[in-house]
Amino acid sequence: MYDAGRRSSEQRAAMIKVAVVGTNGLAQYIVNCLATQTSHQFVILSRRPSPGLSAKGWQVLQVDYSNAADLRFKLAGVDTVISTISGNPQLSLIDAAAAAHVRRFVPSEFGGPPSLRPQNDLLDQGRRAAILRLHQHEASGMRFTIFTCGVLYERFGPGGMAASQIGLHSHIAREGEYLMDFRRRRAQIPYSGNSGQPAMVCLTSAHDVARFIVAALDLPSWPREFRLRGERMSVRDIVAVAEAVQGRSFEVSAVTRSSLQDSLTYARAVGDRAREGRLHHLLVTAENRYDFVNTNLNQLVSIHPERFRDYLIRVWSSAT
């Protein structure tokens, strides 16, 4: 567990103001870590009033992403922006942050390495445009860092990512929509087209992603990309862990990159957008685009991430 009390007096003196943008589960994890583990000032930017967050004593500023002057005003004095929004609102946020002389910006990535993403990625959701815009603003002095964490454990928890208000427009937000259905003991295992081996995946809980990000605020310098993870395992091992936790075997089907591509082509032809999205996530997995061998943040901060097995036991032990 990261202990803010261990920080040196020099680090304690380097208090900064952080703006966390969005109110989804990841944003709330980040804010809670800021509030309980640091002395940093922070504000939450939200499109809508958030009385539940305000009731915790957290400062929530309502913003209009189509109003550049309002955004600049709300970002005045902010050192670091952590975004959990996407699309055009994030582009407006980037422009406003640069105009407000924000020092560094964390875009809403939190997935596989961006370098592995093809140019016309179905799952892009404006990420490429955001990175391009951030590059354009570097001349003004605003730097940016991507936090690459792989797949979130929450995809396999009760209610899926939607239970934490994460990835609601991803086609895999609900329980059992990606890779395996823990409750019904079913799984699809994507095999890599190149090696014929089960695909490899890096995984981290959203709570641990938040802890890593907040711990990184005390580091003297940030690279262009921080890579962090809780686990790295094959998709077959992910299912094996789930089977061990359940104490029962899963109904498992193996799919290849080629078969996924065929199914994807059919889903697109019949206009089944939801199935197309789910299949594309499996195809991305088969291409090992959620995998990275080395980390560079785990070694720099005192975070001991939760193991995947421990996560499954914890979240499903009280599930109905």
pLDDT, tens digit, for every residue of 156-182?
999 999 998 898 777 788 999 999 999
Average pLDDT for 28-35: 97
Q: Please, what's the b/e burial string for 84-108 (b: 16 or more CB within 10 A of its CB; e: otherwise)?
A: bbbeebbbbbbbbbbbbebebbbbb
Least reliable range by pLDDT among 4-18, 40-54, 151-165? 4-18
Q: What percent of the chain has pLDDT over 70?
A: 94
Q: Which of 33, 81, 79 is nearest to 215 (CA)?
A: 33
Q: Please answer whether residues 71 and 56 qualify as being in contact, where contact means their C-beta atoms are separated by less than 8 angstroms.
A: no
Least reliable range by pLDDT among 4-8, 204-208, 261-265, 285-289? 4-8
* Number of helices (H), then strands (E), in the chain: 11, 14
Average pLDDT for 239-252: 97
Average pLDDT for 18-24: 97
- Neighbouring C-beta atoms of residue 143, cutoff 10 Å: 16
Residue predicted with more confidence, 284 or 194: 284
* pLDDT > 70? residue 10: no
Which segments within the chain are labelled E, that is strand? 17-21, 41-46, 60-62, 80-83, 104-106, 143-144, 146-148, 151-152, 180-181, 186-191, 200-204, 225-227, 231-234, 251-256
Average pLDDT for 219-227: 97
pLDDT at position 6 is 43
Residue 4 confidence class, pLDDT cut points 50, 70, 90 = very low
Q: Indicate the class that CATH gives domain 151-204+231-292+304-317.
A: alpha beta
Identity of the residue numbered 202: C
pLDDT at position 320 is 65
Q: Which of 119, 308, 305, 300 is nearest to 223 (CA)?
A: 300
Q: What is the pTM of this model?
A: 0.92
Q: Which tokens hold the place of 183? A: 């409750």
Q: Please answer whether residues 6 and 68 qualify as being in contact, where contact means their C-beta atoms are separated by less than 8 angstroms.
A: no
CA 281 to chain CA centroid, nearest Å:
15
Q: What are phi and psi of 157, to 5 degrees?
A: -90, 175
Q: What are phi and psi of 46, to 5 degrees?
A: -140, 145
178: left (phi over 0), alpha (psi -120 to 50) or beta: beta
Q: Cα separation of 36 and 112, whole Å?
A: 28
**Residues with Cβ within 8 Å of residue 39, at least 6 apart in sequence:** 4, 12, 15
pLDDT at position 13 is 40
Q: Please answer whether residues 44 and 23 qualify as being in contact, where contact means their C-beta atoms are separated by less than 8 angstroms.
A: yes
Q: Cα separation of 181 and 19, whole Å?
A: 36
* pLDDT > 50? residue 294: yes
Residue predicted with more confidence, 252 or 8: 252
Rounded alpha-carbon distances, angstroms, from residue 309 to 153, 237, 296: 10, 11, 23
Least reliable range by pLDDT among 33-37, 256-260, 309-313? 256-260
* pLDDT > 80? residue 84: yes
* pLDDT > 70? residue 288: yes
Rounded alpha-carbon distances, angstroms, from residue 7 to 2, 14, 41, 180, 302: 10, 11, 16, 41, 11
What mean pLDDT value characterizes the chain? Answer: 91
Residue 150 confidence class, pLDDT cut points 50, 70, 90 = very high
Give the full edge-to-edge strand order of the sheet including 41-46.
Answer: 60-62, 41-46, 17-21, 80-83, 104-106, 143-144
**Using CB atoms within 10 A of its CB, is residue 66 exposed (0-12), middle (13-18) or buried (19+)?**
exposed
pLDDT at position 123 is 66
Average pLDDT for 134-142: 95
Taking the domain 17-144, which CATH number applies?
A: 3.40.50.720
* pLDDT > 90? residue 203: yes
Q: Which tokens hold the place of 204? A: 């981290």
Residue 280 confidence class, pLDDT cut points 50, 70, 90 = confident
pLDDT at position 318 is 83
Residue predicted with more confidence, 43 or 192: 43
Q: Domain boundaries in the chain?
A: 17-144, 151-204+231-292+304-317
Q: Which tokens hold the place of 246? A: 């359940």
